[in-house]
Structure 1
Amino acid sequence: MAAGKHMFHPALAVSNIKNHVSVVLEMENVQYGTWAELLKIHARSHRVLHHIIPPESGMGPTPLSTDAEKELWATLDATVLQWIYSTISTDLLTTILEHDSSAMEAWNRLRDIFQDNEISRVVALEQEFSSTTMAEFPNVAAYCQRLKSLAD
């Protein structure tokens, strides 16, 4: 993290994450894959992906040696954590919220919620997909959108 004293980090310029990640992650309407991909793209474009995804071995940032580098790291981590918290439902927020948590810890807790029980979720989603009927929806577009959402 070679940030000069007077260098402004691009992640700090984001005033409203919802302008960039429009999907709100919810338990009921699961779009984890879409949400995670949008947040990763945003984090990569603002040079903070390493706050949620560990860098590959040997490719990590330089060790934090100065107080300024440590302070910038903490500020960026809090910024990414705010992005995560701002793009998930209140129910998920109360589930993963922990005192002094890092962005990576929150990211991993969400991943665990949606991917740890992957096999049982697949079975449940397949059942819901199979039992969804067009009569439940006002039009064909809404029906197709629901089937696509379940498939995704």
Structure 2
Amino acid sequence: MTNDTIAKPGFHPALAVNSIRNHITVILGMDNDQYPLWVALFTNHAKSNCVLHHIIKPKHGIPKSPSTDDEKELWETLDAMVLQWIYFTVTTEILEITVEADTTAMKTWNRLAALFQDNRNSRAMTLEQEFSHIDMRDFPNASAYYERLKSLADQLKNVGAPVTNSLLVLQMVSGLTEAYSNVGSIIQQRDPIPDFFQARSMLTLKEAGLAK
């Protein structure tokens, strides 16, 4: 059986899924920028349980429509289950936007896609603004500063505005406090610019030296 055909009546692997959150650990929210990750986890889970065609039309061919009463009943059961998987892995805010009567898993899936695609540009602008103005002085320690900077870069990638390694490292250096200016200058003068984790290690060593 493939994902592009209707399952034969009888036991179906999707019916054995007890808790969807054990398989899709990301809870999709409007403000967490994890839509691409949620989609990746969800589609992989759907594919492994032979229900991918309930949310994504196959690239080749047309899915076989259920013909018998048993096949129709199974299709409706599986579609309701996939729809339930969606509902159980989104926040209440998104649930209120997407829930409607007499819908299907594919309609809801497409509605979510449109919702997040419309939101990408505004999210990218907000994230880029924060990224370009991040300052080490606003954080309790260097580690918190690095983590926030990397988080912003990851979120920008998720909304289709990836940050290059050079820009990430240079932005990190530009926001350093005076105590880190020497090591910041060394990082800037490297050719090529070190990768983010190497630069972070250099600053972490400096932080340890300052602590002593």
TM range, normalised to the smaller chain?
Answer: 0.7 to 0.9
1:131 to 126, 130, 133: 133
Q: What CA distance in whole angstroms lies between the structure 2 residues aligned with 1:41 and 1:15?
A: 17
Structure 1 position 62, deviation (Å): 1.6
| Cα pair distance change 1:44/1:129, threshold 3 Å | same
* Alignment check: 8 A CA contact 1:31 1:149 kept: no
Is 1:46 aligned to 2:49, yes or no?
A: yes
Point out where structure 1 has 5 or more consecutive residues left out of the alignment. none
Partner SS, residue 116 of structure 1: helix
Q: Tell me the amino acid that sits aligned with residue 44 of structure 1.
A: K
* Alignment check: 8 A CA contact 1:52 1:104 kept: yes
Q: What CA distance in whole angstroms lies between the structure 1 residues aligned with 2:81 and 2:142?
A: 41
Equivalent in the alignment of 1:91: 93
2:39 to 36, 54, 63: 36
Q: What CA distance in whole angstroms lies between the structure 1 residues aligned with 2:134 and 2:76?
A: 46
TM (norm. structure 2) is 0.64
Q: What's the CA shift string for 1:95-150, capped at 9, x where partnerless?
A: 11111111111111111111124333222221122233444445545444433433
* Alignment check: 8 A CA contact 2:6 2:75 kept: no
Q: What CA distance in whole angstroms lies between the structure 2 residues aligned with 1:23 and 1:141?
A: 24
Greater Rg by CA: 2
Percent identity over paired residues: 57
Is 1:21 aligned to 2:19, yes or no?
A: no
Greater relative contact order (Cα < 8 A, sep 6+)? 1
| Cα pair distance change 1:139/1:61, threshold 3 Å | farther
Q: What CA distance in whole angstroms lies between the structure 1 residues aligned with 2:109 and 2:149?
A: 27
* Count of aligned pairs between the two proteins: 150
| Cα pair distance change 1:65/1:29, threshold 3 Å | same
